[in-house]
Amino acid sequence: MVDFGGWELPQQYTSIRDEHLAVRKVAGLFDISHMGRFKVTGEAGLDFLQSLLTNDLSRIGRGRAQYNLMCNEEGGILDDLVVYWGDDGFTVVVNAANRERDLDWMRSHAPSSVEIEDRTFELSLIAFQGPRAQELLPAKGLDDLPYFGFRPGQVAGVSALVSRTGYTGEDGFEIFVKADRVGEVWDAILKNGAGHGVLPAGLGARDATRLEAALRLYGNDMDDSVNPYEAGLGWTVRLDKGAFIGRDALARIKRDGPRRTLVGLTTAPGDIARHGAAVRSQDRVIGSVTSGTHSFFLGHPIALALVEVASLRVGETAGVDVRGRQASAEVVQLPFYRGSARSAAAPAKS
């Protein structure tokens, strides 16, 4: 067990390797109840979120979810989050370490007609991820649930809200269920997957799988000193949707071009580049590693690094600091791995 954003969470249940491979080959079950869950209601809820977030919610509708960024006036990323547009308002899922700050920020900008309720402690959240997740989840009626769609249903006979998003690169589901019933659902999923290779999975496997899919981690790959264009998330910024916090700064950055960019690196087995390690080109420091780990599935270490624009191109070689020495790293195309999420009726990024 380790501290994560003020929560005590499992780093691993069995071994990171076994849990990692279970997610890639069958399915893994994650407890992600540490993530913040806010309910936004009121007639002005849509307009409020449009003024607060970078993406354009009008591109989706009820029953759909959207990946989004919340920025400050300078265009720095305050958090990345997912918005679920339901019949009775919006559910916003934020990062655990940012929950209190995000709640204060949202409430400080909300009009009196909008209510923001923190439901983190009454509503649990678990994720079942892997290429066989749909087959092995004890629920019905999910075959036609689109990628980034969600609907009410029952999992193991317990009422839940089921979404089809994910943070591993694989197809899978997130299950919102009342906190006093989540243990039943957790046990039922593991029982149903017994004999198929399903495992409970901890933070180690979650970090490795999300990194293989080049999914960003707030606090590592981005924070309020990084803008969406530097983080490779410019596709979430809809400058033409109207006014929102940070729009003017982001318009300038897009016009002038970002100073830094996020690139993918691979190294030889044993040369694991960790967060903060310097990245060099021709003996000059050009940036630093934001996330790095060993990929058990790919068989070698992988990393993301924030470097000066145009300093490194795919196919080139860079140097990275590894335990006091410089190791060779190859710049590769992202993502490192494309999983079953790509075949889950996935639309273009929204």
CA gap 192, 138 in Å, rounded: 7
CA gap 54, 318 in Å, rounded: 33
Q: What is the pLDDT confidence band of residue 132, given thresholds at 50, 70 and 90?
A: very high
SS3 49: helix
Long-range contacts of 277-282, Cβ-Cβ distance < 8 Å, separation of 24 or more: 277/303, 277/320, 277/321, 277/322, 278/320, 278/321, 279/305, 279/307, 279/312, 279/318, 279/319, 279/320, 279/329, 280/318, 280/319, 280/320, 280/321, 280/326, 281/307, 281/311, 281/312, 281/316, 281/318, 281/319
Locate the domains of the chain by residue range.
2-211, 215-332
Does the pLDDT at position 327 exceed 80?
Answer: yes
Q: What is the DSSP string of 278-289?
A: EEEETTEEEEEE
Q: What is the pLDDT confidence band of residue 347, given thresholds at 50, 70 and 90?
A: very low
Alpha helices in the chain (DSSP H): 16-25, 45-52, 99-109, 133-136, 182-193, 203-212, 247-256
Q: What's the mean pLDDT when you consider all of the chain?
A: 95
Which of 179, 195, 192 lies closest to 137 in space, CA to CA?
192
CATH class of 2-211: alpha beta
CA gap 261, 232 in Å, rounded: 7
Ramachandran assignment for 268, one of left (phi > 0), alpha (psi -120 to 50 degrees), beta (any other): beta
User: Mean of the pLDDT values across residues 280-301?
Assistant: 96
User: Nearest 5°: phi and psi at 331?
Assistant: -85, 125
Does the pLDDT at position 298 exceed 70?
Answer: yes
- Using CA atoms, how far residue 179 sits from 17, 31, 125, in Å, is 29, 12, 8
Q: pLDDT tens for residues 91-125?
A: 999 999 999 999 999 999 999 999 999 999 999 99
CA gap 155, 186 in Å, rounded: 10
User: Which H or E element spans position 150?
Assistant: strand 150-155
Question: What CATH code is assigned to 215-332?
Answer: 2.40.30.110
pLDDT of 197: 97
CA gap 220, 197 in Å, rounded: 31
Q: pLDDT tens for residues 45-76?
A: 999 999 999 999 999 999 999 999 999 999 99
